[in-house]
Amino acid sequence: MKNKVIVLHRTPVGALSDGDLALKVRDVGELLPGFIRVAVEYISVEPAMRGWVTNRTDYMPRLAPGDTLHAFGIGVVIQSEHAGFTVGQKVIGNLGAQEIADINPEMTELRTALPEPVPSSIQLGMAGITGLTAFFGMTKIARPSVGETFVVSAAAGAVGSVAGQLARLAGCKVIGIAGSDAKSLWLTRELGFDAVINRHSENVKARLDELCPEGIDIYFDNVGGDILDTCLSRLRKGARVVLCGGIATYNATEKPAGPANYFALVHRSALMQGFIVLDYLDEFEPAIEWIMTQYNAGLLINREEMFTGVESLPNALNALFDGSNTGKVLVKT
Ligand SMILES: NC(=O)c1ccc[n+]([C@@H]2O[C@H](COP(=O)([O-])OP(=O)(O)OC[C@H]3O[C@@H](n4cnc5c(N)ncnc54)[C@H](OP(=O)(O)O)[C@@H]3O)[C@@H](O)[C@H]2O)c1
C-alpha cells in the first residue's frame, strides 16, 4: 500500500511558495503495536498551517523538513492494534496531511466522529474546529446581547461566517468585512448579515463610521493588522474584542507593528482577549450538539469549498491567503 503525504520541504519565508511543501509517495509498512491505521477522508485547511510550518505556535508539535504537515482530519480506522479502537470507527484529530495515518492514540488527541447521517466534512467545518472556534469565541469572550453592534473580519470565511451567524442569532446588528462583492451578497442575502464592507473597493474606516454610528460593541478579529487597529478606535464603552486570528500578519517577514489604538481599551473599559479553540476540548461535545441542533433547524448555513487529492493542499492553503475561498476549505483525499 502507498501513502501520499504532504511534507515540509523547506521553511517558508514570507508567503508560501512552490517547493516549500512537497508531495511524497511513501510505502505503508507494518502497523506498530498500540497504533491504529486511519484512511483519511477529509483534511481541514487552516490559515494556522502557515504558522505550524515555521514553528510559530506552541500548541502543535514542532516540524522539521521532511515531516508530515500537521492537519486536522476525519477518517476511518482500517486497522487497529489498540484495544480502544475498532475497524470501521470514524475518528477526528491531527491525522496529518496524508491519505493513510498511523496514529498512536496515547500521543494524539482523537475524538470519535458523529455517526451517519452527519456528513464527515461538516465535522471539520461548521460542527468541527471551525464552528467550535466561532462558538467559543462568541460564548466565552464576545458574550453578545440583543441590539449590540457586532463586526467580524474575514466574514465570508469559515470561522467568520459562523461567528456572524451566531451574532445574528443573538440579536446583534451584524457587519462583516470581506474581500469581494460576491461574498458581500452571500452574507447579506443568505446569512442575514445587516451589511458587509468590501475591504478592497470601499473605505473601511468611512463605512464603519456610517454603519456603526455609535461604535462597535464586539469586534471578532480574524485578520489583525490595520483592520484591528481601525476597529479598536471605534469601540463603544464595555466593548469586547475577540482575538481569533491575524491572517494579515501570518506571512510577515518582520515583527508586525502592534495596534497603535490599543489605548482605546482603557478609555472604553473594553476587553481584548485571545484564545485557541483547543483550550475548550472538554466542552466540545455539548457545543457540537448545540451547533448541530441549530444547523438541523435551518438556523445556521454551512458552506464548503472542496479541493480534491492530497496534492491539492498547497493550492487550497493559498486560497485562504488570496481570499478566493468562501466558507470552509477542505481537501477530499
Ligand atoms: N484561535 C483559534 O483557535 C483559531 C482556530 C481556527 C482559525 N483561527 C483563525 O481564524 C481566522 C480565520 O480562519 P478560517 O479558517 O476561517 O479562514 P478563512 O476566513 O476561511 O480564510 C481566510 C480569509 O482571510 C481573509 N484574508 C486573507 N488575507 C488577508 C489579509 N492580508 N488581510 C485581511 N484579510 C485577509 C480572506 O477573506 P477576504 O478576502 O474575504 O477578506 C480569506 O478568505 C484565521 O486568522 C485563523 O488563523 C483561529
- Where are the chain's structural domains? 2-122+303-332, 129-278
Q: Are 164 and 191 in contact (CB under 8 A)?
A: yes
In which residue are the cell numbers 467559543 written? 136
Residues of the chain with pLDDT under 70: none
Tell me if the domain spanning 129-278 has CATH number 1.20.1440.130: no
**Angle separating helix axes 158-169 and 129-136, nearest 10 degrees:** 40
Residue 92 is classified by DSSP as: E
| Ligand 1 probe mutation, 49, 183, 247, 315, most atoms within 8 A of CB | 247
What was the pLDDT predicted at 131?
97
What was the pLDDT predicted at 56?
82
| Ligand 1 probe mutation, 50, 94, 166, 223, most atoms within 8 A of CB | 223
Å from CA of 47 to ligand 1 middle: 6
Residues with CB under 6 A from ligand 1: 46-48, 129-130, 133, 154, 156-160, 178-179, 183, 199, 222-223, 244-248, 275-277, 320-321, 323, 325
What was the pLDDT predicted at 38?
98
Pairing state between β 235-243 and 216-221: parallel
Distance between alpha carbon 311 and the CA centroid of its chain, in Å? 21
The vertex-322 CA angle with 318 and 323, nearest 5°, equals 110
pLDDT tens figures, 249-290: 999 999 888 999 999 999 999 999 999 999 999 999 999 999
Å from CA of 35 to ligand 1 middle: 34
Å from CA of 320 to ligand 1 middle: 7
In which residue are the cell numbers 522539521 written? 64
Q: Whose CA is nearest to atom 29 of ligand 1?
A: 248
What was the pLDDT predicted at 111?
95
Ligand 1 atom nearest to 249, measured from its CA: 31
What are φ and ψ of residue 24, in 5° steps? -125, 145
Q: What is the rounded (10 degree) CA torsion for 278, 284, 288, 290?
A: -120
Q: Are 310 and 6 in contact (CB under 8 A)?
A: yes
What was the pLDDT predicted at 58?
80
Contacts 24+ apart (CB under 8 A), 263-267: 264/232, 264/233, 264/235, 265/232, 265/235, 265/241
Ligand 1 atom nearest to 153, measured from its CA: 41
Tell me if the domain spanning 2-122+303-332 has CATH number 3.90.180.10: yes
Å from CA of 84 to ligand 1 middle: 36
DSSP string, 174-218: EEEEES-HHHHHIIIIIS--SEEEETTTS-HHHHHHHH-TT-EEE
Q: Whose CA is nearest to atom 24 of ligand 1?
A: 154
Å from CA of 293 to ligand 1 middle: 26
| Ligand 1 probe mutation, 129, 159, 281, 313, most atoms within 8 A of CB | 159
Spatial distance between the Cα atoms of 56 and 158, rounded to a whole number of angstroms: 22
Ligand 1 atom nearest to 199, measured from its CA: 41
> Alpha-carbon Rg of the chain, whole angstroms?
20
